[in-house]
Amino acid sequence: MAFKPENKLEEALVAAVEDSAAAPDFYRLLLESNLLVPGTVRGHEQSDAPFTLSPDSKLDLIPGIKDGQRFLPAFTSVTRLQAYLQREMRYLTLNTRTLLEVTRGAPVILNPASDYGREFTPAQIAQLLDPKPHLQPQGEPMRAIGEVDFPPGLVEALTALFAARPQVAAAWMIQVTFADRAKEPHPLVSIETAGDWLALVQAINAAAEARVPGMVFDIQRVVRASPTSLTQALLSVPPFYDRDAKPAPGLLN
């Protein structure tokens, strides 16, 4: 079936796919728009009326699977959602920025199974959420720089969280910059886990917000079977959390 845009966001998506010069306008509109995501909010599972999320709202989002890895599916219209699900399922309508903030660190695929969609890695999502104008989500983080002074509040919150989740094996923290944010270094938390990644990301964001509200940090998953150059660097230094050993901060120079 041919893709016929049903709203301004889909018109911008088509334009960006067909002409890269239109990409900045699409990304701007994307963050201002609402997306549809399969799932519910605890306590509102049967609600059909609009309601506002509170800071302690618990989202139960339904992930997809691609190449053995979980991702968060999101859609620009009911038509795209129905084409993907092909069955009745409850879904939420959320502002894109809010959605990406509460699931920060999880990969997202916009309109999976559609001719017009987009895959976003955690690093690209972090770039999208940066408030600088004209920012295009491309490229991976630059190398780690300097030595990181571990934020004690963040370390304490995450150590307690990981200790309560047996499938988290280890976690590292380094200071990184992005190619277009060289003067804005911030922590990158890298986690080795066999558990539900989306659920863990939500728990991390909730724990961090409760302990260190407003702290900017990024999250990535460590996969030893397919390590990136950054992952290889991380594995050469002690983690700040290690299930099989007493947690001890490590420094990457």
- Angle, helices 8-18/23-32, rounded to nearest 10 degrees: 150
Residue 139 has pLDDT above 50, yes or no: no
Give residues with Cβ within 8 angstroms of 5, minimum separation 6.
11, 13, 14
Share of the chain above pLDDT 70, in %: 75
Q: What is the mean pLDDT of residues 95-101?
A: 88
Say what the pLDDT of residue 146 is: 42
DSSP secondary structure string, 134-200?
T----S----B-S-----HHHHHHHHHHHHT-TTEEEEEEEEE--TT-TT--EEEEEEEESS-HHHH
Say what the pLDDT of residue 158 is: 94
Q: How far apart are CA 134 and CA 128, in angstroms?
A: 10
Tokens of 225: 């079977």
Which is nearest to 93 in space by CA: 35, 50, 8, 10? 35
pLDDT band at 60 (very low <50, low <70, confident <90, very high): confident
CATH number of 152-242: 3.30.70, 1.10.3470, 3.30.1490, 2.60.120?
Answer: 3.30.70
Say what the pLDDT of residue 22 is: 82
In residues, how long is the chain? Answer: 253
Say what the pLDDT of residue 101 is: 84
Instruction: Write out pLDDT tens, residues 217-245.
Output: 888 888 777 666 666 667 777 888 998 87
Element (H, E) at 168: strand 168-176
Numbered ranges of CATH 3.30.70 in the chain: 152-242
Which is nearest to 104 in space by CA: 219, 221, 216, 230? 219
Residue 167 has pLDDT above 80, yes or no: yes
State the pTM of this model: 0.57
Give residues with Cβ within 8 angstroms of 52, minimum separation 6.
none
Task: Measure Cα distances from 87 to 37, 39, 51, 101, 245 in Å.
Answer: 14, 13, 25, 28, 46
Q: How far apart are CA 167 and CA 161, in angstroms?
A: 11
Q: What is the mean pLDDT of residues 144-149?
A: 48
Please, what is the average pLDDT of the chain?
A: 78
Q: Between 191 and 130, name the one with better pLDDT.
A: 191
Phi/psi region, residue 245 (left: phi>0; alpha: psi -120 to 50; beta: rest), is beta
Residue 161 has pLDDT above 90, yes or no: yes
